[in-house]
């Protein structure tokens, strides 16, 4: 990661993630019954729940509205989950208010045009390696990992290691 990103991650305590293309590969399997199935990376899940347990502010904002995704992220201890968001900016502003943080103190990870306005306002704009070209142009950091392949893990683990909370055995049982 670049020096600017590493500097911001030394103090960042609030992370917001899109789902499709970030926490999933962006592929959707559609069954004969019309169910849309996505797959998530277990290592991203571990990092998300570990960050929550270590006191970080974690939120999800997505245009999708999957009950399966809702259950997955609730199961990781994430309380700020906004699905079916046609206007992601309103949800972003609400998350900042609920956590009591300035937009400049937030790391946001998105991969496509619905994330563009938030990425322009977040203090740290991050995208997976396979994000759209327009998104890559405005992000502070383009990760080396694709969406759904551990990009959230990479971001959170890096921040938590810089802040000495990744290996905090006092408050977490492995």
Strands, E, within 6-46: which ranges?
Answer: 14-17, 29-30, 36-37
**Which residue positions in the chain have pLDDT lower than 70?**
169-174
Strand segments (E) across the chain? 14-17, 29-30, 36-37, 57-61, 80-82, 106-109, 124-127, 141-142
Q: pTM (2 decimals)?
A: 0.94
Could you state, in order of their start, the residue ranges of all structural domains in the chain? Answer: 3-162
pLDDT given for residue 174 in this prediction: 47
Contact 98, 55 (CB under 8 A): no
Q: Which pLDDT belongs to residue 36?
A: 85
Architecture of domain 3-162: 3-Layer(aba) Sandwich (3.40)
pLDDT one-digit tens code per residue, 129-141: 999 999 999 999 9
Number of H helices, E strands in the chain: 7, 8
pLDDT at site 168: 73
């Amino acid at each position: 990661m670049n020096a600017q990103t590493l500097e911001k991650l030394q103090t960042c305590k609030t992370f917001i993630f899109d789902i499709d293309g970030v926490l999933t590969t962006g592929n959707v399997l559609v069954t004969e019954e019309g169910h849309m199935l996505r797959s998530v990376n277990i290592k991203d899940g571990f990092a998300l729940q570990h960050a929550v347990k270590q006191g970080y502010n974690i939120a999800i904002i997505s245009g999708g509205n999957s009950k399966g995704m809702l259950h997955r992220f609730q199961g990781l201890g994430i309380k700020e989950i906004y699905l079916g968001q046609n206007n992601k900016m309103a949800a972003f502003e609400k998350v900042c208010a609920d956590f009591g943080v300035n937009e400049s103190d937030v790391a946001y990870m998105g991969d496509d045009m619905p994330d563009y306005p938030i990425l322009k306002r977040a203090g740290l704009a991050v995208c997976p390696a396979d994000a759209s070209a327009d998104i890559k142009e405005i992000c502070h950091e383009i990760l080396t990992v694709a969406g759904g392949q551990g990009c959230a893990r990479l971001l959170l683990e890096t921040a938590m290691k810089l802040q000495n909370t990744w290996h905090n055995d006092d408050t977490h049982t492995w």
